[in-house]
Amino acid sequence: MGDEVLVRVSQEIQNSLRSTDIASRWGGEEFLILCPNTSLNDAQKVAERIRKAIEAIQLSCPHKITASFGVGSLQDGQDLSEMLKRVDSALYQAKKAGRNCIRVEPE
């Protein structure tokens, strides 16, 4: 069932993105989504669209899938690795808040 979930989640992510956006599996059950030239507000909207699409997935078993998101923005002159740490912290906060929600990294 794990493979089915990963495939379905991947499909919903790809279906929710623009052609310029990039999605990649980042860890066991984590994905990294890059949305170039996107404001933090619009990135939150993308995350919410994907969260709803994942929540609506129907599986061959009675389990529900949820998704938690950490959202951030990389500004000119900022360090990518530091921004990713902040986004990871935001993701942790989303999971801690009960999952199936979005948290924005502090800039």
The pLDDT confidence band at residue 9, using thresholds 50, 70 and 90, is very high
pLDDT score of 94: 95
Q: How many domains does the chain have?
A: 1
Average pLDDT of 40-58? 95
- Cβ pair 61, 81 in contact under 8 A: no
pLDDT value of residue 60: 82
| Mean local confidence (pLDDT), 66-92 | 93
Mean pLDDT of 73-102: 93
Q: What is the CATH number of the domain that holds 99?
A: 3.30.70.270
**What domain range is 79 assigned to?**
2-104
- Give me the active site residues, please: 29
pTM: 0.89
Q: What are phi and psi of 77, to 5 degrees?
A: 85, -5
Taking residue 102's Cβ as centre, other Cβ atoms within 10 Å add up to 22
The CA-CA-CA angle for residues 52, 55, 61, to 5°, reads: 160
